[in-house]
Structure formats: C-alpha cells, structure tokens
C-alpha cells in the first residue's frame, strides 16, 4: 500500500496473502447492499472471497454439534468444499440416534446474514482456441481463463477513490503466446440508485490483434464460508429458483433462502463497445446462453481485439428481494428496472453527485498528514456505505462488520452506539431509520424480558431478522479445535446503549414527536427492565444488579463460576443509573402533551417513576480501596 492522496487507497502488486484484507477494505456498498472488493474473475478459494450481502437478509440453519469433540480434521476437510464430515446441508434432516462413538450431540440453530449471488464474474481469455464453454470448466485453472494468481503479471494496481466511491484496477499481463494485454476495470455500487451496480472493463491489446472471449455471469453457487470459526456450521443458504435469458444482452437469476423464504433476484446487462469518443462503436456479438440447474447464469461472446484499440465491456446489474416495498416480485422488479436503466456514464455521474453530498456533510479535514486523513476518510467511507440507503422501508440495523463480510454472522450488536453520534449530528434521518429497526422489534424484547421473569424490554446481545436473541451459546475455537461455551448473552448493556442513542437523538434534534411515537417507549421499557433486575440491600440502602457481563467480554463470572455473570459490574450499573434518570426526565418532558396512545401502551404505575428516581440514585458502584 502507498499513500499519495488522503482520498485514495492504493495497492501496488498482487499479493495472494493480503488479498482477503484488500477485499474487505475495498468493499463497495450503499446501505442496501455491499460487495467485497474481489477480482471480477475470482472464485471462492484460499485466496479470494467475492461476497455480496443485502441489508436485513438473514437465514437460520441447523447444525449437529458434537460437544467436546476435537474436530480439527473436520474443519480442514470442510475448507473450500460444499460440505464435509459432521456438516448437514439445510436440505438434510438431523440424524437420528446417538452420535458416532457415543459422543454427546445436539442440533443448534444459527442465523446468518446471507452471502448472496455473486454479480461480479466477468471472465476473459485471449487468443481464442478450443477452450471449453461449459459451466463445469468455469473455474478450471487450465481452461484458458485469466486468473491473477496464475497469470504472468507485468503490472497490477488497485485504487479505491473514497470521494467517488469508485474502485479501479489496472493490470498488464503476458499470455502463453507472449502477447501483452492491458485490462482496466472500474466498478461502483450506486449511491443514487441503491439497487444498481456497474462493472466497466476496458481491454487493450498492446502488441497483437486477435480474438477475446468474455463470459459475464451471475453466480448463485455460493455459501457462507468467510469465517474460519463458523465453517463447521451449515452454510448453504440459497435454493435455486429461476435462471433465464431476458433478451439478447441480459440474463436473470433468482434464488430463495432456505428457511426465511426471502427471494433474491439479480439481472445483468452486458454490452461491448470498440474505440473511444466520437469514434466509439457498439458491437453486437452473438451470445451463448449458459446456465447450471438454475444456480448460475451467463452470457458468453467473442470479440475481435485490434492492436492499440480499446474495447470496453459494460456490465450493469440490478438486484431486488422480496423484502422490498412496492414490487410485484423480485424477478419482475429487476427485469423492469434493467429495461429502463441509464447508461453507465449517467449512472456514474449521479453516483458521484450523491457521494459529493455525503462528503459535504461528513468530511473532516485534518492537518496532521496524509496517513491520518486517509485513515479517517476510509473509516467514514465504510460507515456511510453501511447505512446511507437505510430507511424505514428497508428495516435494517447496523451489522457489527457492516456489509463487508460474515464476521459475527452479520448480527446487530451494540456497535450502533458508536455510529449514531456521527449520523445524528449530520443526517438525523438515518439515525431515526436505524432506531426504527429496534422499535419494530420491541415486542420480541418484551417477550424476552417476560420469559426471564422481568418487566420491560430485554434487547438481545445479537439481533437478526426478527429481534429474537440469536447470540450463540457456544463457539468453535480454532486454536483448540473444540467447541467452547459463549456467555456473551449476559451483556444486557445493549439495551442501555439503545436508550442512550434514543436520548442522544432527542438532544441533537429536539424532536419531541419522535419521543412520542417511538423513542420514549423504547427508553422507558428499557428502564423498566433494569429496575426489575435490581435487588435491594436494606442494610446498605443500596440496589444491586447481578448476573451481568460487562463490555470487556472477558469476565463472565467470578473465579470458579464461569457463565454466572458478575455482581455490580461498574459499567452496567453506572449506565443503568443514567438511563433510569433519563426515564424520569422523559416522563416529565412529555407530561401534558398529547400522547395518550403512548401512555396507554405503557400503562405506567403511580409509583413507578419515583422508584426509577430512587434506584437511579442508590445503585451500588464498587470502588477499589485506592478510590
């Protein structure tokens, strides 16, 4: 990596060991969906992982787990394969009877943000010849298709332009015939049209003329395999539905998640042009339509390269899911939108204008040097890519790893508390939309509190599609090759962070209507939970909270009592006291205002607010002897 511009992240050379890191950093997205910065010709293997993720699209799967079993061999067997020993696909029922060897086993359910079909594939080979066009040879290393890890690369450079949301790659390579070809690609996931992405590739034969074969595909043969510690879990989330040719230059693929039943449709239009400027000519090559049991779809065609004459291939992709509003169906939507879509140049101009608006609101200019400025701009860029298109209709939260990969299974944690301040002061509409994700799951939080014998609302440490607690109770430890218990669900402070964000939104905006419609109900129900978690110590006239885990995530119990939680974790108690005081303030603020529906939903008891006031002042906070 080198730095010449605080707005451009650059990488020189192809480094297989660093490719996964680069793919994450070069992710492009808009809040509706995101795609890792993988090479267009990449396949999922030990080097590349071309993942695409749609906000709010989750799917639960079941896996049979053998507790206490050392499964290192199983883990290695599953790398790069569709299944492996000890893994059930989502289409197979749980095995009946005892586990092999009499080991204790149980079936666990896990919910994941789904790795959606890969829209990037744009494969090419030079020189013509009898290379196979079959689907089965699509990824064969000896099939003649270009792969960066096997090609003789003369130049390889990637640039992520943060101002424009544009990823550019320039490479030069020498093929087996000794011919040198220059390939430049540009891609963006549109901020102006959230369902649209564009990949534009320009080929230039430097010292030769001859045939070029291009294959433009949408690949639904994907799985969730991005996180090593999750590779023992079931990972096939998609079932094929439709693969068809829309017209002479467009194809469509539709898949469905196996249990949540979400339909995902993608359509791709691929066109080719020779020359530049006024002399540019649109080419009309004969297309070969390829598909594979409705899991993969492509157009393949041959072009003639002339020495020194650029040849450009434009791939425009649109996506829709059955979660979208105002669509008949996802396949109908993408077919309709693709037929109406602008040319890539117009799409790019609109995309850049939207990024300019975002940067006018969010950019912070530092005078401490290019390195610090680039780091700040890159982090802000990725935050905006995760949330910029979120609205109430999308109904999505803030995944802990954004839309950049499958870390933490794409779940929504308390990390949002660190994101809201930058949004609320600049784009409060985004904060309100994201807080709405929590409000729509308030019913599940209330049910969780009741199930635990408490009042109010208990928001889960990890949330997904419907607000149920999807925090795992065990995790695979790749260092020991064994399953280990996970007690992180004891971190109740996720609710406190939510209440903090609600109050922060009100303080920044003065939006009392938001408090009446949603915010106060969230804050007061969270206050109820923590009031009901307390125990009164009459001797000390103090209130205690037990069975919690603080945000350090290491102390899940006293020595010898793992998983039982701590008593009076300082962070939790101080934060709970603050929330209880803000609950009192909220009731006073709304007193006398027209919000009878709110009070009807909450049904506050006459002494409840006074109780919050008392507990908020008398919660115990332990201090060391040195103060």
Residue written as token pair 């919000």: 595
> Which residues fall within 8 angstroms of residue 482, CB to CB, at 6 or more apart?
68, 69, 70, 71, 476
The single-letter DSSP state of residue 566 is B
Contacts 24+ apart (CB under 8 A), 606-613: 608/528, 609/583, 609/584, 611/531, 612/527, 612/531, 612/580, 612/581, 612/583, 612/584, 613/580, 613/581, 613/584
The predicted pLDDT at position 144 comes to: 86
- Which of 19, 18, 1 shows the shortest CA–CA distance to 10? 1
Q: How far is CA 5 from the centre of its chain?
A: 28
In angstroms, rounded to a whole number, what is the distance separating the alpha carbons of residues 32 and 447?
Answer: 29
In angstroms, rounded to a whole number, what is the distance separating the alpha carbons of residues 339 and 272?
Answer: 17
The predicted pLDDT at position 231 comes to: 85
Read off the pLDDT of residues 304-335 as tens digits, 9 standing for 90 and up. Answer: 999 999 999 999 999 999 999 999 999 999 99
Three-state secondary structure of 497-564: HHHHHHHHHHHHHCCHHHHHHHHHHHHHHHHHHHHHHEEEECCCCEEEECCECCCCCCCCECCCCCCC
In angstroms, rounded to a whole number, what is the distance separating the alpha carbons of residues 223 and 233?
Answer: 11
In angstroms, rounded to a whole number, what is the distance separating the alpha carbons of residues 443 and 184?
Answer: 51
Residue 340 class from Cβ within 10 Å (0-12 exposed, 13-18 middle, 19+ buried)? exposed
> Which residues fall within 8 angstroms of residue 333, CB to CB, at 6 or more apart?
195, 265, 320, 324, 327
Using DSSP, state whether 251 is helix, strand or coil: strand
In angstroms, rounded to a whole number, what is the distance separating the alpha carbons of residues 580 and 531?
Answer: 8
* Contact present, 171 and 155 (Cβ < 8 Å): yes
**Residues labelled catalytic:** 553
Using DSSP, state whether 343 is helix, strand or coil: coil
Element (H, E) at 156: strand 152-161
The predicted pLDDT at position 67 comes to: 60
* Contact present, 482 and 67 (Cβ < 8 Å): no
Q: Which two tokens stand for residue 208?
A: 């030769």
The predicted pLDDT at position 1 comes to: 55
The predicted pLDDT at position 8 comes to: 97
Side-chain half-sphere CA neighbours of 564 within 13 A: 7
Read off the pLDDT of residues 426-443 as tens digits, 9 standing for 90 and up. Answer: 999 999 999 999 999 999
The predicted pLDDT at position 306 comes to: 95
Q: How far is CA 254 from the centre of its chain?
A: 20
Read off the pLDDT of residues 150-197 as tens digits, 9 standing for 90 and up. Answer: 999 999 999 999 999 999 999 999 999 999 999 999 999 999 999 999
Mark residue 176 as left, alpha or beta (left: phi above 0; alpha: psi -120 to 50; beta: remaining).
alpha
* Contact present, 179 and 127 (Cβ < 8 Å): yes
* Contact present, 537 and 546 (Cβ < 8 Å): no
**Between the CA of residue 422 and those of 216, 323, 415, 508, 511, what are the distances in Å?**
39, 28, 13, 11, 17
In angstroms, rounded to a whole number, what is the distance separating the alpha carbons of residues 56 and 464?
Answer: 7
How far separated are the first and last CA of the chain, in Å rounded? 47
pTM of the model: 0.92
In angstroms, rounded to a whole number, what is the distance separating the alpha carbons of residues 598 and 586?
Answer: 12
- Which of 313, 366, 497, 514 shows the shortest CA–CA distance to 428? 514
- Which of 4, 267, 235 shows the shortest CA–CA distance to 111? 235
Between helix 520-533 and helix 608-618 the angle, nearest 10°, is: 60
- What phi and psi values does residue 575 have, to the nearest 5 degrees? -65, -40
In angstroms, rounded to a whole number, what is the distance separating the alpha carbons of residues 196 and 186?
Answer: 14
- What phi and psi values does residue 522 have, to the nearest 5 degrees? -60, -50
Instruction: Give pLDDT < 70 ranges for the chain.
Output: 1-3, 67-104, 128-143
Sign of the alpha-carbon torsion through 526, 528, 533, 534: positive
In angstroms, rounded to a whole number, what is the distance separating the alpha carbons of residues 6 and 404?
Answer: 22
Between helix 493-509 and helix 428-439 the angle, nearest 10°, is: 140
The predicted pLDDT at position 100 comes to: 43
Question: 166-174 and 288-291: which strand pairing?
Answer: unpaired
Cα–Cα–Cα angle for 350, 171, 311, nearest 5°? 60
* Contact present, 520 and 596 (Cβ < 8 Å): no
In angstroms, rounded to a whole number, what is the distance separating the alpha carbons of residues 262 and 459?
Answer: 24
> Which residues fall within 8 angstroms of residue 50, CB to CB, at 6 or more apart?
23, 35, 36, 38, 39, 42, 43, 44, 118, 120
For the residues of 345-384, what is the DSSP string, one character each? HHHHHHHHHHHHHHHHHH----SS-HHHHHHHHHHHHHHH
> Which residues fall within 8 angstroms of residue 447, CB to CB, at 6 or more apart?
none
Three-state secondary structure of 286-302: CCEEEECCCCEEEEEEE
């Amino acid at each position: 990596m080198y730095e010449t511009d605080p707005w451009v992240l650059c990488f020189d050379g192809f480094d297989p060991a660093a490719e996964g890191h680069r793919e994450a950093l070069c992710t492009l997205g808009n809040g509706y969906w995101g795609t890792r910065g993988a090479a267009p010709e990449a396949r999922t293997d030990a080097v590349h992982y071309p993942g695409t993720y749609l906000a709010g699209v989750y799917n639960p799967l079941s896996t049979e787990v053998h507790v206490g079993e050392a499964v290192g061999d199983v883990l290695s067997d599953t790398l790069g394969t569709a299944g492996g020993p000890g893994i059930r696909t989502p289409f197979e029922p749980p095995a009946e009877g005892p586990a092999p060897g009499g080991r204790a086993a149980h079936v666990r359910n896990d919910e994941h943000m789904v790795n959606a079909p890969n829209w990037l594939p744009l494969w090419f080979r030079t020189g013509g010849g009898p290379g196979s066009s079959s689907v089965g040879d699509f990824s064969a290393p000896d099939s003649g298709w270009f792969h960066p890890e096997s090609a003789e690369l003369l130049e390889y450079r990637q640039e992520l332009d943060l101002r424009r949301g544009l990823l550019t790659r320039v490479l030069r390579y020498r093929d087996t015939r000794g011919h040198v070809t220059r390939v430049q690609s540009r891609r963006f996931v549109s901020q102006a049209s959230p369902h649209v992405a564009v990949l534009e590739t320009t080929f230039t034969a430097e010292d030769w003329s001859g045939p070029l074969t291009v294959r433009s595909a949408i690949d639904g043969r994907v799985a969730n395999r991005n996180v090593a510690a999750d590779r023992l879990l079931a990972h096939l989330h998609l079932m094929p539905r439709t693969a068809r040719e829309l017209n002479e230059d467009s194809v469509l693929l539709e898949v469905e998640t196996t249990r949540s039943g979400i339909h995902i449709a993608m359509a791709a239009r691929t066109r080719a042009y020779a020359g530049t400027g006024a002399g540019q000519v649109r080419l009309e090559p004969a297309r070969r339509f390829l598909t594979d049991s409705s899991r993969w779809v492509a157009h393949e065609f041959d072009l003639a390269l002339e020495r020194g004459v650029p040849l450009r291939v434009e791939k425009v992709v649109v996506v829709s899911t059955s979660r979208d509003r105002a669509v008949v169906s996802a396949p109908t939507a993408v077919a309709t939108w693709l037929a109406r879509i602008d040319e890539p140049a117009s799409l790019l101009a609109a995309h850049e204008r939207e990024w300019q608006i975002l940067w006018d609101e969010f950019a912070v200019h530092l005078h401490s040097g290019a390195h610090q400025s680039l780091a700040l701009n890159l982090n802000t860029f990725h935050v905006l890519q995760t949330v910029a298109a979120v609205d109430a209709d999308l109904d999505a939260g803030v995944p802990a790893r954004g839309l950049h990969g499958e870390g933490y299974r794409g779940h929504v944690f308390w990390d949002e508390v660190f994101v809201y301040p930058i949004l609320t002061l600049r784009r409060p509409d985004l904060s309100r939309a994201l807080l709405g994700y929590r409000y729509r799951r308030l019913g599940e939080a209330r049910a969780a509190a009741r199930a635990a014998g408490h009042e109010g609302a208990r928001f889960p440490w990890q949330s997904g599609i419907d607000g149920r607690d999807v925090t795992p109770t065990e995790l695979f430890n790749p260092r020991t090759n064994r399953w280990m218990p996970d007690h992180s669900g004891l971190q109740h402070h996720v609710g406190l962070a939510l209440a903090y964000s609600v109050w922060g939104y009100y303080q920044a905006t003065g939006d009392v209507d938001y408090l009446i419609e949603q915010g106060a109900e969230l804050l007061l129900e969270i206050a109820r939970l923590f009031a009901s978690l307390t125990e009164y110590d009459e001797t000390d006239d103090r209130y205690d909270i037990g069975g919690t885990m603080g945000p350090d995530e290491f102390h899940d119990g006293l020595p010898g009592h793992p998983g039982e939680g701590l008593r009076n974790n300082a962070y939790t108690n101080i934060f709970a006291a603050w929330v209880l005081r803000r609950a009192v303030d909220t009731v006073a603020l709304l007193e006398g205002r027209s919000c009878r529906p709110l009070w009807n939903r909450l049904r506050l008891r006459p002494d409840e607010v006074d109780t919050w006031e008392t507990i908020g002042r008398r919660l115990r906070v332990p201090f060391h002897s040195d103060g």
